[in-house]
Structure 1
Amino acid sequence: MEGPSGTSFQIAPLQNLPTCSSGPSDSTNKTEYWKTIPDLAMAAQLYRETVLDIHASGKPLHLHIDLRGSKSDQEMALIAFYKARRVEWANPVQCTLEGDPAIGEGVNRFLFSRIMEKLKNGFKLNFGNSGETKLFDGEPDHLVPSSSAFLVESDLFLMAGRMIGHCFLHGGPALTGLSPAIVHILCGGTVETAIIQINDCPDIDLREKITLLEGSAKLSADEKESLDNLCLAWDFPLMTENNRRWLFERLLCHAVIGRFMRQIKQIRKGLKETMLWPLISERPDVAPVIFPRESSAFLTPQCILERIIWPTMTDDDDDDECSVTDKSRIAGYLRRFIQNASSDELKALMKFWVGWEAPTTTLTLEVTDCSLPKSSTCFETLRLPVRYKDFTVFKEELIACLQTCDTGFGLV
């Protein structure tokens, strides 16, 4: 399938895990081993493999996206797919890009990456009199569900839960950056045991009002009136010197969790439908793997460079169209690009190379006589033209190609 498309590293913990050297022996029941293995990422991986093995013979799910249609039509196709009822989400999935010759696993990666990007950053659809529909609001690592009643009534958070679970089952990207308090409730924790931070409140105006209750400073008349109005609106008692701290905690809890319980319940239902609940309930310690922090999506040059299978630097193959000198020059350009790229640029490179933002176990580089950088995402292979003689031109054209990822594989 053709298509354009010293540091530590953490990213989407479920993807492309190496073989566990301390995994279950032949006498160990693999379906139970995930319950006891200390490695959290491997526990999640083994659970995922167990579920997929059970459903391997099930009727495949077909997801079709027409790249020739408008952005809104493509997004509606995704929404319609994940709002379907009575679906066995662990069954094999077959994704097709209409209007594009690409086929295979690379297409699945591409679409799972797009699904998670839409879930996190919003749909360009006019739901609820808005030009853009975002299901989550707030700062990175403090995201909470949108307060829109329209989205709740439309079951879009149920859809979100299915998206999260489906991407998990098939090794796709995780939803990063959720508030730990929301993750705690999603995974069956109680409101009383949730640790809530003021940054978890996405509404700056509400945050400022609630913050007035911190400390013991005397409030102005306007501040007191503003706070009283909020208490009355949410059916809380007015502030007194005796209940000030208690009121701060109660208002913050309602602002972060109480207002979003319907959304949380819908997301949790979607997780249950996609077979995640046995893992969450049996291994609550795996929650950070399913819902990683934003920092876990930070990509470093070293983690990519150490996985690349570089071109063979010999002249023994008479059929090789490129000399050792040419291959060395282009490989050096790529290494230089990776070493100086930002995390976002590295994610774009990975999405172009393999179909989503996380690097696979191996990344193959080929130097060929082609016109522009191309990728075979199914085979995790990047093909770079031999013609480049200047790094600046190489970088400009590579970045231009990376920016075509969202249009599909064959559309440059």
Structure 2
Amino acid sequence: MLAHSFLHDGPNIKGLSPAVIHVLFNGDPETATVVTEDCPDLHIKSIIQLLEHEELTPEQKNTVSELSMSWDLPAVTKTNRRWLHSKLLIHSVIGRTMRQIQQLRKGLKDVMLWPLLTSRPDIVPLLFPKMAEIQFTPQMLLERIIWPVEDSDEDFDIESICRITGFLRMFIETASSDTLAQLLTFWVGWERLPSELKVEVSVGNFPTSATCFETLKLPAHFKIYTEFEEALLAAINSARTGFGLV
């Protein structure tokens, strides 16, 4: 998918961490320096950050252990905490994206950029700016949204459609750049703005997304903005997204 997107959209892939870029061009994940800020998933990042505390509560230990064992790593103990912190970071940033990194390398070779980038490393930061350097603004998202209209095939009146889309507009207009980046990742699968962002008012309990169709699906049942905001933030933070994880 990344190779296909690279070939059709051009060199516009942004937000790769230095660790991922290192593996992309050097091929060795063992020599990459991974830091907590590189983790693209806010939920996983918050779990890994628990290991930076001096002491963990029983509940925190269970949370960390559930994540580590789901990735075939041991449960956390007093003696392996720092080691586990490193292993979880490497897996969350690099291990889960190795297939996509390989696809991206192939895409760079297919469009004949690989020789240039390997001979001119000073160009790499221009092609792959750090995520911290990308500041999303509400206008950047709002100007690309295709808003829904009243659909006779669904039982949603224009009042419901206007209320839900108004909630989304308010969320975007008041969100921080980091939150907008997470919303975009949830919406389309990664932190790159497509030419269009589609919105649908739908049935269901929670916001969902169809990343391949760049469509955000928002349930029509929300009547109060704070409930909408809480549900959308929960969906964003719980989604297992990030670079290439679509």
TM range (shorter): 0.5 to 0.7
Do the aligned residues in 2 keep the contact of 1:322 with 1:386 (CA within 8 Å)? yes
Q: 1:321 to 1:164 in 2, by over 3 A?
A: closer
For the residue of structure 1 that corresponds to 2:186, the secondary structure is helix
1:309 aligns with 2:146: yes
Question: Which of 121, 128, 132 does residue 85 from structure 2 map onto?
Answer: 132
Deviation at 1:16, TM superposition (A): 7.5
Partner SS state of residue 156, structure 2: coil
Partner Cα distance (1:304, 1:17) in 2: 24
- Shift of the 294–380 alpha-carbon distance from structure 1 to 2, 3 Å rule, reads closer
Between the aligned partners of 1:331 and 1:19, the Cα distance in structure 2 is: 28
Q: 1:71 aligns with which of 50, 67, 72?
A: 67
Which letter does structure 1 place at the counterpart of 2:140? C
Would the alpha carbon gap of residues 290 and 19 (structure 1) be closer, same or farther in structure 2, given more than 3 Å must change?
closer
SS in 1 for 2:221: coil
Q: 2:188 aligns with which of 333, 341, 354?
A: 354
- CA, structure 1 residues 350+129, in 2 after alignment: closer, same or farther (shift >3 Å)? closer
After TM superposition, give the deviation of residue 384 of structure 1 in Å.
0.6
**Aligned partner letter, 2:193:** P
- Please tell me whether the aligned partners of residues 367 and 384 of structure 1 are also in contact (alpha carbons under 8 angstroms): yes
Residue 25 of structure 1 is matched in structure 2 by none
Asked if 1:365 corresponds to 2:202, the answer is: no
Q: Which amino acid aligns with 1:375?
A: S
- Give identity over the alignment, percent: 39
The answer to whether the 8 Å contact 2:6/2:13 transfers is no
Q: 1:286 to 1:296 in 2, by over 3 A?
A: same
Structure 2 counterpart SS, 1:401: helix
Task: List per-residue Cα deviations over 1:168-187 (Å, max 9, x = no partner).
Answer: 4488xxxxxxxxxxxxxxxx
2:129 maps to: 292
For 2:158 and 2:201, the matched residues in 1 are separated by 10
Structure 2 residue aligned with 1:202: none
Amino acid corresponding to residue 343 of structure 1 in structure 2? S
Unaligned runs of 5+ in 2: 15-64
The CA distance in 2 between the partners of 1:128 and 1:396, in whole Å, is 32
Relative to structure 1, the CA distance from residue 318 to residue 170 in structure 2 (aligned partners, 3 Å threshold; closer, same or farther) is farther
Alignment of 1:16-35 (within 5 A): none
C-alpha distance in structure 2 between counterparts of 1:43 and 1:291, whole Å: 6
Using the size of structure 2 for normalisation, the TM-score is 0.56
Change (3 A) 1:168 1:128: farther
- Tell me how far apart the structure 2 counterparts of residues 293 and 407 of structure 1 sit (CA, whole Å): 18
Q: Secondary structure at the match of 2:86?
A: coil
Q: Retained in 2: the 8 A contact 1:367–1:385?
A: yes
Q: Distance in 2 between matches of 1:343 and 1:43?
A: 18
For residue 407 of structure 1, report the CA deviation from its aligned partner.
8.5
Give distance in 2, aligned partners of 1:170 and 1:354: 22
In 2, are the aligned partners of 1:17 and 1:361 still within 8 Å (CA)? no
Q: Name the SS for the 1:406 alignment partner.
A: coil
How far has the Cα of 1:299 moved from its partner?
1.8
Point out which structure has higher relative CO (alpha carbons under 8 A, 6+ apart): 1
**Which protein shows a greater Rg?**
1
Aligned residue type for 1:361: S
Question: Which residue pairs with 1:399 in the alignment?
Answer: 233
Cα distance, 1:298 vs. partner?
A: 2.2
Task: Name the amino acid aligned to 1:72.
Answer: S
How much does 1:309 deviate? 1.1
AA in 2 matched with 1:311: P
Q: Secondary structure at the match of 1:383?
A: strand
Query: Over the residues paired in the alignment, what is the CA RMSD in angstroms?
Result: 4.5
The letter for the 2-side match of 1:287 is: V
Contact 2:161/2:220 (8 A) holds in 1: yes
The DSSP-based 3-state class of the residue aligned with 1:360 is coil
Contact residue 13 and residue 128 of structure 2 kept, 8 A: no
Matches within 5 A, 1:167-246: 168-169=104-105
User: Would the aligned equivalents of 1:347 and 1:357 in 2 still touch at CA under 8 Å?
Assistant: yes
Equivalent runs, 1:47-62 vs 2, <5 Å: none
SS in structure 2 at match of 1:130: helix
Higher helix share: 2
**How many residue pairs are counted as aligned between the two chains?**
180
Distance change >3 Å, CA 293–CA 374, structure 1 → 2: closer
> Which of residues 206, 211, 219 in structure 2 aligns to 1:385?
219
TM-score by length of 1: 0.36
Whole-angstrom distance in 1 between the partners of 2:80 and 2:126: 31
**Deviation, structure 1 residue 348:** 1.9
Cα distance, 1:279 vs structure 2: 3.0
Residue 335 of structure 1: aligned partner: 169
Partner of 1:219: none
Question: Does the 8 Å CA contact 2:200/2:216 hold for their aligned counterparts?
Answer: yes
Q: Check whether the contact 1:327–1:367 (CA below 8 A) recurs between aligned residues.
A: yes
